[in-house]
Structure 1
Amino acid sequence: MRILFFGRGLISTQYAWALEQAGHTVEFYVRKGRKETFGSRIDLEMWDARKGKKLIKESWSIKLHEEILPHYDLIIVSVNTEQLPEAAQLLSAAAGNTPILIFNNLWQDLKSSIAPLPMNNVVFGFPGAGGGIENNRLRGGFLKMVFLEKPRVGTKHINQLIQACFESAHFKISWVKDMQNWLWNHFAMNAAMETEVLKRGSFPAIMNHKDSFSNVGLNIREMIPVLKARGAKPDAITLLLTKLPPALLGVLFNRVVFAKGSLPRLFMEYNNSKAGFAVLEVVREAKKTGIPLPRLTKALENSEYAKQK
């Protein structure tokens, strides 16, 4: 299968490597000027957890394009949330009928988030990976599981294509019945985490403060009315995070979810991305409905997003 990854970011690079290892042809679309900046290789130091736990260290040769050609079997899009509207506009003009996987975190409703792309040519999914890229060096990794929405009317053939693609690379698919609700809940969880990152200064920094994860549950509790106001139903994980006492939640995150040596902890320690946009999006939504979010709003005050809320 010939696959185009939109952008040469963390998620795109890791899954492109895995799919190439499975025999697929993978290439990247990058903005004009980025081809020369990125170069033709990237250094990988990432954990592959599809079969056990294996460290991959290599200088990987990649193929970059600054235009989208009409000869791909699949396009996979994984960009920063704020970049998705621009990506959708570009693909609507350049992708033709090529099936598209949106492999992204989303807060907007699915249809408007990808306008003007047609819904029957798009499937939504979510990766199980993390880490960061700095100075052309990728540090991170991916788990065995990827999340994919169950077929909608008109998308069954695309779902089957994507399923075959990922399963050929030994990934396991977790099928999501209501992807819209799943993504809303996941985005809220991300905003709760980013609220603590804004306080501490970086993703790795929150690993060193036991109170950070206790506060995640309090941040989620604050956002429940916002989720409900937009028609979302808190899922099992969201409800668990709101029901557990903050102190117990802190212990659970520190000693189990992000235990020392675990891959999720390594992914966080390698994460050098900029935090705050998810918090801003939720605060903006809350303002529309008059719902107070004091914890999230305070976290934004000293960030670059302070004037945008």
Structure 2
Amino acid sequence: MKILVIGLGTIGSIYGYVFQKAGHEVEHYLRKSSPKAAVKQLQVDLLDGRTEKDGIQSSDVYQVKHCSGKTYDFIFVSVPSGGLASVIDSLAADGISGTLILACGIWEDRAYVDRLVKGYPYILGYPVAGGNIRDNRLTCCLFDHFMLERKEKAAISNYEKLAKLFADCQIQLEQPYDMLEWIWLHMGINAGVISVMGKSGDVKDTTAAAEKLMDSIQYLKEAVKAIRETSQIVASRGVNLKHYKNELLAYKLPTVISAPLMKRMFAKKVLTRKIMTLHGNTQDLLFVCKCLYDSGKKNQIAAPNFYANCEEAMGKITSLMEKK
């Protein structure tokens, strides 16, 4: 298959790398003005969880091929939600076609997404991977599954082909009740965690902040309380949380039980701990928190723990970004 990955960001590069290793033709779409436009390869340090639960560490070189065509089977898009519109505009202006895989944190509703894609066939997904790129080195981890919209809810004609793409890469598909609602809930859970990390840790060192959270029962208790509140913010948008019992089960237990269980999980699950420590894009972190904060305030949802944590965390992150 012929795959186009938008940009040369962390998530797109992880999946572009594994698609290429599985024998598919992968290219990256970068604007000429991009600082990464001249990059032709990345050093890859991957903790790969597709065949071993604790992951297998490997090092490799990813040969980055740049966009050379107009027609692709799939276009993999993983950018901050605010950047989607310009991506679609650029693809349309360049006459590039293909089925969009929108693997993004989208806080808008379905009608907005339908308008945004401007007639492109698309499907919603969410990556289960993470990492960072520094000095053309991709340090990352990859899980054995990918979240993908159900066939009956996706208006694409090549669903089976997409399922085969992931199967070729030894990646299983998990399909929640509603993909967009699942993304909102996932963003809500992340916002609860980020708010506590930002309040209690150093936002200049997100790895240390994540380690501090995962090693502290007290901070994990605070995170559970915040997540309970952010889940209610998500519910206020019309989401029936009963459809997502498995995702919320850990946060419904009393904190004296849930926090120690989470601490033990982070200590034992190498991949989960790794993904927590690698994500350091402060702009993304701020976006997630702000989405939940603004919606909660607008819908008048009582979330005192989350709001207090979020205000302190967002203040730190905004201050840091202003100094850069």
The normalised TM-score by structure 2 is 0.84
Residue 300 of structure 2: aligned partner: 290
Aligned 1:11-26 pairs, distance under 5 A = 11-26=11-26
Following superposition of structure 1 onto structure 2, how do residues 67-216 of structure 1 map, counting pairs within 5 Å? 69-94=69-94, 97-113=97-113, 115-118=115-118, 121-152=121-152, 155-199=155-199, 200=201, 201=203, 202-209=206-213, 210=216, 211-216=218-223
Aligned CA-pair RMSD: 2.4
- Per the TM alignment, residue 87 of structure 1 is displaced from its structure 2 partner at its CA by 2.2
In structure 2, C-alpha distance between the alignment counterparts of 1:114 and 1:87, rounded to whole Å: 15
Partner Cα separation in structure 1 for residue 38 and residue 273 of structure 2 = 27
Shift of 1:58: 2.0
Q: Deviations over 1:34-79 (max 9, x none)?
A: 26566211111111222223222123221234xx841212101011
Instruction: Give the whole-Å Cα distance in 2 for the aligned partners of 1:102 and 1:244.
Output: 33
How has the CA–CA distance of structure 1 residues 166 and 127 changed in structure 2, closer, same or farther, with 3 Å as cutoff? same
Q: 2: CA distance between counterparts of 1:93 and 1:42?
A: 28
Does structure 2 conserve the Cα–Cα contact (< 8 Å) formed by 1:6 and 1:29?
yes
SS at match of 2:148: strand
Cα 1:296–1:124, aligned 2, differ >3 Å: closer, same or farther? same
Q: Kindly provide the amino acid, as one letter, of the partner of residue 255 in structure 2.
A: P
Letter in 2 for 1:205: A
Q: What does 1:217-296 correspond to in 2, within 5 Å? A: 217-234=224-241, 235-256=244-265, 258-260=266-268, 262-274=270-282, 275-296=285-306
1:239 Cα offset (Å): 3.5
Structure 2 residue runs of 5 or longer lacking an equivalent are 320-324
Asked if 1:7 is matched to 2:7, the reply is yes
Deviations 1:277-297 (A, max 9, x none): 111011111222222433333
Please say if residues 204 and 268 of structure 1, whose CA atoms lie closer than 8 Å, have aligned partners that are also in contact. Answer: no
Answer yes or no: is the 8 Å Cα contact 1:74–1:98 preserved in 2.
Answer: yes
AA in 1 matched with 2:212: N
Q: Percent identity?
A: 24
Query: Aligned letter for 2:316?
Result: S
Q: C-alpha separation between the residues in 2 aligned to 1:61 and 1:30?
A: 15
Change (3 A) 1:51 1:224: closer
Identify the residue that residue 59 of structure 2 maps to in structure 1: 57
1:188 aligned partner, one-letter code: G
Pairwise CA distance, 1:153:
6.0
Which amino acid is the alignment partner of residue 303 of structure 1?
K
Q: Residue type of the partner of 2:238?
A: G
Distance apart, 1:6 and its partner CA: 0.7
Say whether the 8 Å CA contact 1:217–1:242 is kept in structure 2: yes
Q: Partner of 1:27 in structure 2?
A: 27
Residues 146-204 of structure 1, C-alpha deviations (whole Å, 9 max, x = no match): 11111246735232221111111221111233112211211111111111221212244
Is the 2:8–2:36 Cα contact (8 Å) retained in structure 1?
Answer: no
Aligned mates of 1:81, 1:197 — CA distance in 2: 22
Count residues with an aligned counterpart. 303
Q: Deviations over 1:87-129 (max 9, x none)?
A: 2333344455411111122221133146331577101111111
What amino acid sits opposite 1:221 in the alignment? Answer: R
2: CA distance, partners of 1:84 / 1:120 = 13
Cα displacement string for residues 4-43 of structure 1 (whole angstroms, at most 9, x for unaligned residues): 0011111111111111111101111123332656621111
SS of residue paired to 2:47: strand
Paired amino acid for 1:134: R
CA–CA separation in structure 2 for the residues paired with 1:151 and 1:118: 21
Return 5+ residue gaps in structure 1 as ranges.
none
8 Å CA contact retained: 1:150, 1:159: no
- CA drift at 1:214: 1.8
Would you tell me which structure has more helix in proportion to its own residues?
Answer: 2
Q: 1:111 to 1:32 in 2, by over 3 A?
A: farther
Which whole-Å deviations, capped at 9, do the CAs of 1:224-281 have from their partners, x for residues lacking one?
A: 332222101222145424421223222122211x225611111222222212211101
Give 4+ residue runs of structure 1 displaced > 6 Å after superposition: none
